[in-house]
Amino acid sequence: MKKLLITGISGFVGGHMVDFLTRNRQDLEIHGISRSQPAWDFVPVRPELLTNHYFHRADLLEIPKIKKFLECVQPDYILHMAAQSSVAESWKTPVFSFMNNTNIFLNIIDTVRLNDNGARVLSIGSSEQYGVVSAQDLPLTEETPQHPANPYAVARVAQEQLATIYANGYGLDICCTRSFNHCGPGQTDRFVISAIVKQFVQIAHGLQDPVIHIGNGSIVRDFVDVHDVVAAYDLLLSKGRRGEVYNVCSGTGRTIREIITLLSDMTGIDAGVHQELAQIRPIDNPCIIGSSEKIRRELGWKPSVSFDQSLRSVYEYWDHRIRQEGAPGNN
Amino acid sequence: MKKLLITGISGFVGGHMVDFLTRNRQDLEIHGISRSQPAWDFVPVRPELLTNHYFHRADLLEIPKIKKFLECVQPDYILHMAAQSSVAESWKTPVFSFMNNTNIFLNIIDTVRLNDNGARVLSIGSSEQYGVVSAQDLPLTEETPQHPANPYAVARVAQEQLATIYANGYGLDICCTRSFNHCGPGQTDRFVISAIVKQFVQIAHGLQDPVIHIGNGSIVRDFVDVHDVVAAYDLLLSKGRRGEVYNVCSGTGRTIREIITLLSDMTGIDAGVHQELAQIRPIDNPCIIGSSEKIRRELGWKPSVSFDQSLRSVYEYWDHRIRQEGAPGNN
C-alpha cells in the first residue's frame, strides 16, 4: 500500500482532502502531520475512526524530528499544505509567516533530498505570487511574471523557486500549484468569504446589526471551491508533470461587493456595508483572475461546484455552528 | 556622530569596507556585528587599534539578541553584508545557506521595523539573482527578469523581494544592490579568482604541479574589484534611492579560461588546465555580464581598478601568505 504524507493536515483544506481521500482513494495509507491534532467540524470524517490513517504532531521547523519521521514513514507521496496562509497575518507577523511558509517547505524537501527515497512532492503555492498585475495580464497564466506584493507572497515565490531548484538541480520529483482563493465550509473567518458569510448568518440570527464589515470592497479575486481544490491536488499528485507549476482556479473574478450582493439576494438580508480602514492592507493587488487552461488541458480537471452552491455551503456551516454554539467568537 | 552598523563585518568585503571608511568617513561611528571577531590580514587596518569602532559577536538568527542590540545602538545606517555567499556551498547545504541569507536579513529588517528609528538599510544582493539568461538579455539591467538557478540565488531573490515589501509596504528606508562577482586580496579560495591565483602562486613557489584545477572553464562572469565595491556601497548608503535596486558590476565579461591566460601572461607560468568534474554544479549560468549604467548615471560611480591591477593584488596577497606560512591550506 502506497503511503501519502500530508503536512498541515489539521487545517481547512486538510480536512476536505482527507474526506476526499477516504471516499476515493482507499489504496493509500495516509500519514498526517501537523502542530495540532485534527478536529474538523466541517467534514463527515472523524479522524479517530479512520483506519490506515495516522496522525503525528510535529513542528516542521524542527529539522531533526522531520528527518527521523521521514526516515521512519518513507512516504511515496508528500502533499505539502502546511502554511501560514493569511496575507493579513503576514503583514502583522512577517517573520513568523516567512518561516512557516518557506522554511518549513525547505525543511521538508531537503529532508526528502537527503532521505533519497524518490518521494513525489506536491508543493502548494498561491495566486498571491502574481502580485500587482495590469489588466492586460489577465487572466493570469503560469507564464505571467510574478511580482509578489506582501510578505506572504514573497514566501510563496521563494517556496516555488526552491521547488524548481530541487526538481531541476537535485532531481527531486516535485510539482507545484498556484492555488487561488478558496471558499467552502470550515474555513476560518480570517478569510474574506467566510468572514462575510458569518456576518450574514449572525444578522439572520439577530446577533449583529445589519451592517457587513469588510476591508477593501473593490478588490477582485478568483474563488474556487475547496472540494474542487482537493480533487485537483489528488490529480496533480498522481499526474502533474515534474518541475511544472499549475494554476488551480475558477477563471472567474468577483469583487467583494459583488459577493455581498449575491449573499443579500440569497438570504434576503439587505445589509449595509462598512469598509474598515484597519483592514486595508499596506499594498493590495486590485485584481487576481487565473487561467485554468493548463490543468484542464493536461489533466482534465475543471471546477464542478458553482459559486452559488459554495456560498450556500459556507452559509450552512456558520448557521449550524451558531445554532450549536450561539454567537461564535473569532475562528 | 552618525552610527553605521555593518553586519558580516569580519568577512572579505567587511575588511575592505572598514579600510575604506577609516580613510574616507571619519564622521561615522562604526558598529560591526559578526559571528567571529575580525582578523583581516589583507587590509592595513587593525580592528583593535580603531577608535569609534565597536565589534559585537552575534548570530543574526538569534532574534531577541538582534532586537536588544539594535535598540541599544540605534544605528542611523545599516550595511547588511552578512551572507553565506558561496553558490557551491549552497548546493551542499541549501538549508544553512537559505537561513544565513534570507532569514538573517529578514530578522534585521523586521527588527528595524519594530524598532522604528528610521534607520537606512543597504541590502547587498547578487548577480546570481538573474540566473540563466539568454544572450539577448546581456548586459543585465535592473529591469531584466530574474530566474534564480541555485539555492543561493533563490535566497537572494527572496531577500530583495522582502526588502521591496518593507520599503513599499512598511515605509522602511531600504536600498538594494545586485553585486556581481568580486575579486581582490583576502577573498577565500572558495571563490574562483582567488582559487586560481592561489594555484599560480603555489606553482611559482614549487608547491604545486603546473596544472590549474578549475570547475567549468567556459562560464562568463563580470568581476569587479572589491575596492570599487566598497566605494559603491558607501555612495549607495548615502545617496541610493529608497526602494531601488542597483547593479554593482564592471560591465565586462570574462571566461574562466581567459583569466587563466591573463595570469599565465602575467606570471610567465605556462600551466595546464584540468577541469574537475566534482566542481561542476548541477545547474550553472553560462554567462553573467551586468550593466552599471544606472549607478553611473545616478551616483557617478564607476570602477577605478583595472582587472590587471586586481589580479596583481590578489597574486601579491597569496604570495605574501605563502612566503609567511608556506603552503596554505584551504581558506
Cell triple for A145: 511574471
Q: Do domains B2-182+224-248 and B188-221+252-286+305-325 have the same CATH topology?
A: no
Q: What SS3 class is residue A158?
A: helix
A243 reaches B (C-beta below 8 A) = no
Q: Is A126 on the interface with B (CB under 8 A)?
A: no
ipTM field: 0.92
Task: Report d(CA A62, CA A64) in Å as an integer.
Answer: 6
- Residues paired with B221 in a beta bridge: B254
User: Residue B37 and residue B47: Cα distance in Å, rounded?
Assistant: 9
Q: How far is residue B278's CA from residue B145's CA, in Å, rounded to a whole number? A: 30
Measure CB to CB from residue B154 to each of A63, A165, A283 and give the nearest one. Answer: A165
pLDDT 10s digits, A199-210: 999 999 999 999
Average pLDDT, rounded, for chain A: 94
Contact pairs from chain A to chain B, CB under 8 Å: 83
Q: Do A94 and B106 touch (CB under 8 A)?
A: yes
CATH topology of domain B188-221+252-286+305-325: UDP-galactose 4-epimerase; domain 1 (3.90.25)
Listed residue (A224, A239, A218) closest to A285, CA to CA = A218
pLDDT tens digit at each of 331 positions of chain A: 999 999 999 999 999 999 999 999 989 999 999 998 888 999 988 877 788 889 999 999 999 999 999 999 999 999 999 999 999 899 999 999 999 999 999 999 999 999 998 999 999 999 999 998 988 999 999 999 999 999 999 999 999 999 999 999 999 999 999 999 999 999 999 899 999 999 999 999 999 999 999 999 999 999 999 999 999 999 999 999 999 999 999 999 999 999 999 999 999 999 999 998 777 777 778 899 999 999 999 999 999 999 999 999 999 999 999 999 876 665 5
According to CATH, the superfamily of the domain at A188-221+252-286+306-325 is UDP-galactose 4-epimerase, domain 1 (3.90.25.10)
Domain boundaries, chain A: 2-182+224-248, 188-221+252-286+306-325
Stretch 178-237 of chain A: residues touching chain B, C-beta under 8 Å: none
Helix/strand/coil percent split, chain B, to 5:
45, 20, 35
Residue-wise pLDDT for B244-260, tens only, equals: 999 999 999 999 999 99
- Measured between beta carbons, the chain B residues lying within 8 angstroms of A168 are 149, 282-283
Which chain B positions have a beta carbon within 8 Å of A150's beta carbon?
165, 169
Q: Residues of A with CB below 8 A from B99's CB?
A: 103
Domain A2-182+224-248 has CATH 3.40.50.450: no
Tell me if chain A has a CB within 8 Å of the CB of B157.
Answer: yes
Which amino acid is present at B302?
K
Could A282 and B170 be called an inter-chain contact, meaning their C-beta atoms sit closer than 8 Å?
Answer: yes
CB contact under 8 A, B168 and A91: no
- Determine the Cα–Cα distance for residues B213 and B192; give it in Å rounded to an integer: 10
pTM: predicted TM-score of the whole model, two decimal places: 0.93
Q: What is the mean pLDDT of residues B81-87?
A: 94
